[in-house]
Amino acid sequence: MVVAVWIAKLFKTLALQLEQSVVKRNHQKSNIRTPSMDQGFPFHHFLKNKTNIISTKISSEKTFEQSPIGPDSFSSDEYELIQKEVLGSLRSIISPEKFNAFFKNNFYLESIFLDKIIFRVSTPFIKSTIENNYLSSIDASLEGILGKKYDINIIVGSATSSSFIKPFQPERVVVTNDPSPIKSAKTAKFTLTQNKEDLRLNAESAYIKYMNRPEVHVNHIDVSKNFDNFIIGPSNNMAFATAKAVAENPGETGKYPTLYFYSDSGLGKTHLLHAIANEINLRYPNLALCLTTGRDFLKDMIYYIQKKEIHEFQKKYTEKTDVLIIDDIHELSGKEGTQNEFFHIFNELHIKRKQLIFTSDKSPKQIDGLEDRIKTRLQWGLVIDIQRPDLETRIAILKKKANELDLYLKEDIINLIASSIKSSIRELEGSLVRLKAFSDYMKIEIDVEIVKEILKLHKSSDQEKASMDSIAKATSKQTKIPLADLKSKARNKEIARARHMAMYLSQKILGSTLKEIGKYYGNRDHTTVMHAVEKVKQDLKTDNSLSTDIVAIESQI
């Protein structure tokens, strides 16, 4: 039926073009009435009725009207019919989740030409997704419905109808001696509506706002960050245990009057600082606590210098502070005057046995532009390296954050995100903020394909790339133990430790059975493997070097 309509419209177009030519030619010869359709070309062979389609009227009123001519002159009903056929075809070949997300109430037929067809979508994101993934499906649907191939063009705009976009019709041009009244500013009315593009931008802005939230300022402690909601894993268990010990017994009564954490950005250093601050405020409300950043410390000093009250700056930190916490101490790099003031403040507080806590993205000795005397003092206390979280920790972080956001995600989606985003906890949490905003604004359920599209994730995962061999080779490389020794009967301490790590990772990452692992590592009994796995699990709670090795091996797999 649709093909027949299209063929009829093609002939109709040709007929209209010919008649327009005749009208124009006759009008140029004399200013008399337009010849009827029964004269000249036999239009009745091509059209269903003999009514005049073009009416030209010239009078003393100087009024001129002309109907549109061309392939886009299908009626609204015919456009609606083709629209439904196309969507019905796409629904049969695209999953329900994708169809609802990118086509239902988002994809409209705009115009049909002889060799080109135009569709309108509601947002640039949907346009990009369809162009990258579904053009071949649309092309196949059109060929099956209209019997030929078209150049497919997709434009972005708002829908003008709840079911379909009606074809564009040029406005009739009316020229008269009596101009229509022009509306004044008082009589003009405007209606603002929020379209799909607005919703998409809202979703994107929620993610950007989360990722670029402002840094902490002096004594601005985030009460939401505490030890209870900090996710512990092999990569950070030593840092967590030490931070909690300091919070319970700060300064003179504690074991670590100077504490220094370092790691890449977004791995939980700042969370630990706020957790310490919150715990100390709860346990020791009498202690004066100052939590700041290296940059704000510098700004604070400049402020007092401009007021010519540098002595007040010194008193603020040396006489009015019991716990000094400075995040990103590397911000003092290259600032000689600030480093000099910090040096004296550090010495004064250290002599008084006050609590000092610092963080950075590098160990003290690796910070360029920092005086050696300051590097030395930063290393007086306990220096702890926080590694990137392992797969289990990343999964736990995602589950906690999804619960906070009231975002339901299936287990395979959690695993996909955890195995794809490894560099930063902040990026992990930010990915869920993006998915939550997208789900809320687009009103769709999140599935694996949508996650891959929104977060631009790789299709492969760690589990797909990992194998018993790759784990054994990574363990051998990290521990400097030959691969043959890992599979041998040797039982010295270093070899046994490396073998236990490999067995533990084989079960954790691959889910291999105890029997399979035992067979791979020298035909060992399953009880031996069980003992090795449990030993590693227990040692990870207290052995920081073991945690570091485990994380390093995982990152190579």
pLDDT of residue 59: 36
Q: DSSP 3-state helix, strand, coil percentages of the chain (rounded to 5)?
A: 55, 10, 40
Do 354 and 266 lie in one domain? The reply is: yes
Give the Cα separation of 217 and 270 in Å (integer): 12
Q: For residue range 363-379, what is the model confidence (pLDDT) as tens digits? A: 999 898 999 999 999 99
Give the contacts of 199 (CB within 8 A, at least 6 positions apart): 123, 441, 442
**Residue 20 exposed, middle or buried by CB count within 10 Å (0-12, 13-18, 19+):** middle
pLDDT band at 2 (very low <50, low <70, confident <90, very high): low
Tokens of 339: 């480093």
Looking at the structure of the chain, the number of domains it has is: 4
- pLDDT, averaged across the chain: 77
The SS3 assignment for 57 reads coil
With vertex at residue 114, the alpha carbon angle to CA 112 and CA 119, rounded to the nearest 5 degrees, is: 25
pLDDT of residue 195: 55
Query: What residues are paired with 116 via a beta bridge?
Result: 151
From residue 510, how far is each of 27, 409, 463 by CA, in Å? 84, 22, 6
Measured between its terminal Cα atoms, the distance across the chain in Å is 58
Q: Which of 24, 46, 68 is the last residue of a domain?
A: 68
Q: Does the pLDDT at position 33 exceed 70?
A: no
Give the Cα separation of 544 and 530 in Å (integer): 22
CATH of residue 518: 1.10.1750.10
Q: Which of 125, 156, 187 is the last residue of a domain?
A: 156
Do 521 and 478 lie in one domain? The reply is: yes
Q: What is the mean pLDDT of residues 97-105?
A: 79
Do 281 and 329 lie in one domain? The reply is: yes
Other CB atoms within a 10 A radius of the CB of residue 365 amount to: 12
Do 365 and 470 lie in one domain? The reply is: no
Q: Does the pLDDT at position 200 exceed 60?
A: no
Q: For residue range 211-227, what is the model confidence (pLDDT) as tens digits? A: 554 443 345 788 889 99
- The answer to which of 74-78, 307-311, 449-453 has the lowest mean pLDDT is 74-78
Asked, for residue 393, whether it belongs to a domain, the answer is no
pLDDT of residue 34: 42
- Please give the residue that has the higher pLDDT: either 328 or 164: 328
Do 89 and 63 lie in one domain? The reply is: no
Tokens 């150049």 locate to 151
From residue 307, how far is each of 293, 300, 304, 312, 494 by CA, in Å? 21, 11, 5, 10, 61
Residue type, 205: S
Q: Which of 105, 139, 156 is the last residue of a domain?
A: 156
pLDDT of residue 202: 60
Give the Cα separation of 244 and 279 in Å (integer): 8
Asked, for residue 272, whether it belongs to a domain, the answer is yes
Dihedral of CA 10/14/16/17: which sign? positive
Do 80 and 58 lie in one domain? The reply is: no
With vertex at residue 12, the alpha carbon angle to CA 6 and CA 17, rounded to the nearest 5 degrees, is: 130
What would the DSSP string read from start to end of 139-168?
HHHHHHHHSS--EEEEEE---SSSS-PPPP
pLDDT band at 12 (very low <50, low <70, confident <90, very high): low
Do 91 and 46 lie in one domain? The reply is: no
From residue 30, how far is each of 27, 35, 49, 106, 316 by CA, in Å? 5, 12, 28, 51, 99
Asked, for residue 297, whether it belongs to a domain, the answer is yes
Task: Please give the radius of gyration of the chain, using alpha carbons only, rounded to the nearest integer.
Answer: 36
pLDDT of residue 15: 53
Do 53 and 82 lie in one domain? The reply is: no
Do 498 and 535 lie in one domain? The reply is: yes
Do 243 and 370 lie in one domain? The reply is: yes
Give the Cα separation of 494 and 480 in Å (integer): 10
Instruction: Give me the domain span that covers residue 47.
Output: 1-68
pLDDT band at 186 (very low <50, low <70, confident <90, very high): very low
Give the Cα separation of 376 and 357 in Å (integer): 15
